[in-house]
Amino acid sequence: MPVNRLSLVVGVLLTSLLTGTANAQSNAYVFGAIGNTNADASFGFLNRLDDDGSSFKLGVGYAFTPNVAVEAAYQDFGSHDGETDCPPGFACLVIPVSARADLTGISVAVVGSLPLSDMLSAYGKVGFISWDVEFEGFSSAFDTSGEDLLYGAGLKLSLNDSWKLFAEYEQTDLDLGTAEIGVSFHF
């Protein structure tokens, strides 16, 4: 299962963040964000998923330099409504069938930032996401999963050495676009 491979990478990253920083000022940080995800995706037979929903993200990061970091995150893209033709193996009385898709993922990304002033920086990121989609609305629930490219850009405002606010937009090759605002705490 693709999520297990990225779970291993996230576990190794977490272990290195927690055990590798003994000095007073480390380069590790944690972050959280809330936002809105537009899902305009196709999952084989689920061909009309075009919906907005609330989303959130929790993660950890490590800054190798002031301008280069790596991040790992759990992302919940929310629940999205869609319509589909009758899936293979199902007996449908009404077509199209309404369905609900719950989307989640685990991502790993490299982040490059460019200072714009003492307090403000712009950044871009690129990485991979391992996603899982659970479908409801048929006679029985089922799910599918996969891996895709993740990329995004944002602005970060430093409140002090530890606290930062950010606003970003992330996109996946799965056609999930997420606009979010968040906060990070740097140890």
Q: Domains in the chain: how many in total?
A: 1
Give per-residue pLDDT as tens, 35-48: 999 887 766 655 55
Which pLDDT value is given to residue 176?
A: 87
Structure tokens at 85: 């033709």
23 falls in which pLDDT band (50, 70, 90)?
very low
In angstroms, rounded to a whole number, what is the distance separating the alpha carbons of residues 41 and 133?
11
Q: Can you list the positions of beta strands (E) in 67-162?
A: 68-84, 97-115, 120-136, 142-158
Give per-residue pLDDT as tens, 129-187: 999 988 776 555 667 888 999 999 999 999 999 999 999 999 998 888 999 999 999 99
Give per-residue pLDDT as tens, 68-127: 999 999 999 988 877 666 656 666 665 666 677 788 999 999 999 999 999 999 999 999
Query: CATH number for the domain including 18?
Result: 2.40.160.20
Helix (H) or strand (E) holding 57: strand 46-65
**Domain range enclosing 90:** 2-186
Burial of 65 (0-12, 13-18, 19+ CB in 10 A): exposed
**pLDDT of 59 above 80:** yes
Q: Give the alpha-carbon dihedral of 83, 146, 136, 78, to 10 degrees.
A: -90
